[in-house]
Amino acid sequence: MIVCAAVLGQTNNPLYLEAFQTKGKQEDVLKFHYIVHCALDAIEEKVAAPRKAPGEIFDTYLGMLYPTEDYKVYGYISNTRIKFILVVDEMLQKEDEVRMVFKRFHTAYVDAVSNPFYTTSTPVVSKRFDASVRTMVTSLGTS
């Protein structure tokens, strides 16, 4: 089950970060901020890694970035260098399922920033985007 979802901009500024099932504890929210920040190092390593073959196509899904004691951290990067990070507990393990969640997450983000009133590189405060992410999280938790 997804416990945290984050979107980071091209300059690693947080555009969206939401923790789920924290029971109102401020410490949990800060812990997820730290986990997401640490994931940036793993993303930079994966993006900077040389290609295996000269004609290899860049895959936007980065896979599992690193595990912690309680969670696994997965990453996805768009062609415009927007980073998407999901923190999941140990229950979610299928790579194809995680890949599809990232595609839905990316699509919801694109819909939110396509609003003509959205200012680039600012936090996403769209109620529709937040509802899409929450629906994605709850639907994944029940499947």
pLDDT of 58 strictly over 90: no
Asked if residue 2 lies in contact with residue 101, where contact means CB atoms within 8 angstroms, the answer is yes
Residue 97 confidence (pLDDT): 86
Sheet order of strands, 71-77 included: 14-19, 2-8, 83-89, 71-77, 61-67
pLDDT tens digits, 113-136? 999 999 988 999 999 999 999 998
Residue 134 confidence (pLDDT): 92
Residue 89 confidence (pLDDT): 84
The average pLDDT across 101-107 equals 94
Residue 49 confidence (pLDDT): 78
- Tell me if residue 27 falls in helix, strand or coil: helix
CA distance 83 to 15: 10
Between 97 and 84, residue with greater pLDDT: 84
Whose CA is closest to 92, among 24, 20, 40, 22?
20
Instruction: Write out the two tokens for 14.
Output: 């947080």
Residue 128 confidence (pLDDT): 94
pLDDT of 17 strictly over 90: yes
